[in-house]
Amino acid sequence: MRFPFQNVALIGKHKAPEIAEPLLRLAGFLSSRGLNVVVDSLTAQYLKGSPYAAMSLDEMVKTMDLAVVIGGDGTMLNIARTLAPHQIPLVGVNQGRLGFLTDLSLENMQDSMAAMLQGYYVTEERLLLSARVLRRDIEVFSGLAFNEVVVHRNHVSSMVEFEVRIDGEYLYNQRADGLIVSTPTGSTAYALSAGGPILHPSLDVLALVPICPHSLSNRPIIVKSSSVLEILMHRTGDIRVRYDSHTNYDLQLHDKIIVTRHPEPVCLLHPLGHSYYNTLREKLLWNHTL
């Protein structure tokens, strides 16, 4: 991570024309501070007459010191997978309510960014997953996931059958609707809905959360993040593996999915005073009385 920041990329929610006004407002503010501002090329199509250069994400990774994402957690998930391997820190601005990953608001983004540009921020590293699909020992697909890697049935009514090994050691055979391999970041997403635990993002662990397992005794399990997880498909049909709801691949009988921790983490920057527990209270409505 390079500091002080000089080259800043602004990235807006995909197919959201309403992002133009706040994005241009922030761009003008950053530019007035002497920073070089570029805009994601997909976002730039909504900025008519913009004076700012447009770059693709692939171009940004070569020159940017910081990326500011305006949208929601879904936008941040997508951008993080692309930029994290290049060690570019991310700041998230939420369009609406407070997000788990996008904790600046449109109203306070300029004040928050002014402080962060002076070095007043909290740095947080979060782990990223890498998952490969092997078919007859040949890699046929791979991808990264910030929240989770999920094996699940698509449109069939029958259960998925698979075997799980951790660091080469047999764990179990499972009949279920699927399996979620979740990072601590993803523990408040699909894994939470499937009955998994909430994991603080600083924890160096992964969660394996079965989706509607046939055996009621089969519960989520937490393993160290350095583990090598293998999922071998024993019964398929219309089954696929999904990465953060953005990328998926159809699986066949005997396909093996290998999930490991990616060597580069996602680097998030937060304003001073950021509290994960406050975010939980706000997002999960823990402050509401019955």
Looking at the annotation, which residues are catalytic? 73
DSSP codes of every residue in 70-114: EE-HHHHHHHHHHHGGGT--EEEEESSS--SS--EETTTHHHHHH
Please state at what angle helix 109-117 crosses helix 20-32, rounded to 10 degrees: 30
**Considering only CA atoms, which of 26, 24, 12, 25 is closest in space to residue 49?**
24
| Neighbour count for residue 255 (Cβ, 10 Å) | 22
Pairwise CA distance, residues 72 & 275, whole Å:
18
- Rounded-to-integer distance, Cα 11 and Cα 40, Å: 5
The distance of Cα 239 from the centroid of its chain, to the nearest Å, equals: 22
